[in-house]
Amino acid sequence: MSKLSRTPKFKRMYKIGYRFEKKTRTVMTAILNKIEDLLFYIIESRGSKGKADIVVGLYHPKSGDRIWVGIQCKKGYVSVPQQKREITAAMKEHGMIMFFATPSPSKDDELPVKFYPDFRGYIKSWMNM
């Protein structure tokens, strides 16, 4: 264990990230529960240094299709070009479909978490293929 991981600042930053990941999971569960004919399983990997903080397994019973997608949670600001680069790298290196979850910029938004690209739209289009 490094000295950095024992500092109060590191522990505080970890807790902030942990809370945001939990909020993201709650929002994702709410989104997925509203979609009929969809089964899903969510896996969280706290403190990981990998491409995704949350992995979601989706199954469409009518078509028999299955897919896994990853979500990278970032509490702070990440530019859209940087998000695109990381999404492309995840697909190229691991074949992973990835989304970014960031805090919603406006309190008026429907959800407290913003997904890039559109998570709900992607799932609905995948089910209609």
Residue ranges per domain, the chain?
A: 4-127
Beta bridge partners of 98: 70
The per-residue pLDDT for 67 is 93
Query: Check: CATH 1.20.120 for 4-127?
Result: no
Residues of the chain with pLDDT under 50: none
Q: What would the two tokens of residue 117 be?
A: 């690209």
pLDDT at residue 48, as a whole number: 63
Question: What is the predicted pLDDT for the residue at 17?
Answer: 82
Q: Is 21 helix (H, G, I), strand (E, B) or coil?
A: helix
Phi, psi of 40 (to 5 degrees): -145, 160
DSSP state at residue 49? -
Q: Note the pTM of the prediction, 2 decimals.
A: 0.83
The DSSP call for residue 79 is -
SS (H, E, C) 60-126: ECCCCEEEEEEEEECCCCCCHHHHHHHHHHHHHHHCCEEEEEEECCCCCCCCCEEEECCHHHHHHHH
